[in-house]
């Protein structure tokens, strides 16, 4: 298929991962139609600045609308006629979902349903939809493997993502929609979200404020640098279910559908990740050791054998390299705060 000249629709284009995805698509020669509703879940100025950088490049157009607005979505979809759709728009956040459940149902479930309906009536070559490692929930077998059950979510956020995978499979089976769901593992990097731990830690340490370290630091994550993640998404865009099959595939026996982990396949202790931020900033952290929070899990680690088999690579940037790049962006973007 190739991405040179491809027409790609990206939802959540002004978001953290969406921004980087659009950048790499444009660099690959694709024409990109971005959709974003500029939700105030976090500082909209950051989204506006990402969008401005994308709009300055040829081959990119942006539509400010919600994926819940079916009429507006249909108009953009049919006018642009994408060959590939990368659906990244979502209401994120594990803890936020405890107090704001309706936003997760409306955005993650209803919004994704709208895209599946559009793909049903206006077919595309490949529909790629973001999921999360959180769908593994209460699973204790590490690393998390695509074949594991996802029926024990620990948060509503995870439940909504798991639900869209199940709905997506039914649509692929019934209507022949080639669909790939990719499960992210703790993504970080430049232009990252202010509500995520890497940003919160960096911002607090830089300002001399204390950071909250949950489960007394006894946690580990498969941290994934954003450039690695997006390179994997673009690689998967060309691995169309039903046209490709590999050993150990998660390809459904009854649908052109697969789920794929995108992670490095290694654990980094939370305290070690914080230490990398301290080194990059040249400042020690003041740590408030806290108990485990509702909806959280102690350890995540991806099995990445399927990803490697499909695209020939897996995320490899270690925190020792990725964290300094994130902190360098933070210093540049928020420089006035540090003086």
Residue by residue, DSSP assigns 3-22 as: STT-EEEEETTTSHHHHHHH
Q: What mean pLDDT comes out for the span 29-47?
A: 96
Answer whether residue 253 shows pLDDT above 70. Answer: yes
Q: pLDDT digit string (tens) for 169-219?
A: 999 999 999 999 999 999 999 999 999 999 999 999 999 999 999 999 999
Residues 6 or more apart whose Cβ sits within 8 Å of residue 237: 1, 3, 8, 84, 86, 126, 128
Helix (H) or strand (E) holding 57: none
CA dihedral 18, 22, 28, 30 (to 10 degrees): 120
Q: What is the pLDDT of residue 336?
A: 58
Q: What is the pLDDT of residue 317?
A: 97
Q: What is the pLDDT of residue 295?
A: 75
Q: What mean pLDDT comes out for the span 226-231?
A: 98
The answer to whether 41 is a known catalytic residue is no
Task: Look at residues 42, 39, 3 and name the one whose alpha carbon lies nearest to residue 21.
Answer: 3
Q: What is the pLDDT of residue 94?
A: 81
Name the active-site residue from 157, 181, 188, 330.
157
pTM of the complete model: 0.96
Q: Is 314 left (phi over 0), alpha (psi -120 to 50) or beta?
A: beta
Q: What is the pLDDT of residue 293?
A: 85
Answer whether residue 9 shows pLDDT above 60. Answer: yes
Answer whether residue 80 shows pLDDT above 80. Answer: yes
Which 3 state secondary structure label does DSSP give 76?
helix
Structure-token match 């731990």, residue found: 197
DSSP 8-state class, residue 56? T
Q: Is the alpha carbon torsion for 187, 210, 155, 273 positive or negative?
A: positive
Give the integer Cα–Cα distance in Å for 35 and 280. 34
Helix (H) or strand (E) holding 27: helix 16-27
Give the integer Cα–Cα distance in Å for 181 and 307. 12
| Cβ proximity of 199 and 191 under 8 Å | no
pLDDT-based confidence at residue 339 (cuts at 50, 70, 90): very low
């Amino acid at each position: 298929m190739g991405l040179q000249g491809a027409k790609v629709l990206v939802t959540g284009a002004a978001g953290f991962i969406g921004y980087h995805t659009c950048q790499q698509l444009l660099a690959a020669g694709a024409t990109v139609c971005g959709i974003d509703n500029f939700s105030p879940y976090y500082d909209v100025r950051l989204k506006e600045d990402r969008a401005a950088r994308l709009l300055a490049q040829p081959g990119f157009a942006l539509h400010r609308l919600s994926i819940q607005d079916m009429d507006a979505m249909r108009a953009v979809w049919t006018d642009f006629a994408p060959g590939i759709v990368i659906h990244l728009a979502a209401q994120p956040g594990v803890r936020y979902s405890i107090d704001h459940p309706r936003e997760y149902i409306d955005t993650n479930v209803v919004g994704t349903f709208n895209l599946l309906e559009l793909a049903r009536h206006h077919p595309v070559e490949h529909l790629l939809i973001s999921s999360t490692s959180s769908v593994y929930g209460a699973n204790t077998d590490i690393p998390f493997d695509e074949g594991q059950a996802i029926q024990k979510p620990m948060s509503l956020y995870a439940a909504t993502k798991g639900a869209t995978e199940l709905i997506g499979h039914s649509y692929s089976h019934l209507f022949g929609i080639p669909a790939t769901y990719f499960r992210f593992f703790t993504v970080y990097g430049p232009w990252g979200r202010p509500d995520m731990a890497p940003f919160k830690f960096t911002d607090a340490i830089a300002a001399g404020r204390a950071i909250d370290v949950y489960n007394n630091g006894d946690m580990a994550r498969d941290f994934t640098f954003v450039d690695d993640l997006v390179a994997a998404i673009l690689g998967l865009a060309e691995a169309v279910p039903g046209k490709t099959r590999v050993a150990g595939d998660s390809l459904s026996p009854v649908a052109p559908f697969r789920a794929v982990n995108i992670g490095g396949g290694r654990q980094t202790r939370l305290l070690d990740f914080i230490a990398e931020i301290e080194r990059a900033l040249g400042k020690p952290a003041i740590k408030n050791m806290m108990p485990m929070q509702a909806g959280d899990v102690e350890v995540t680690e991806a099995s990445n054998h399927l990803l490697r088999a499909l695209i020939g690579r897996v995320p490899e940037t270690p925190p020792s390299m990725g964290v300094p790049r994130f902190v360098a962006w933070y210093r540049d973007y928020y420089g006035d705060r540090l003086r």
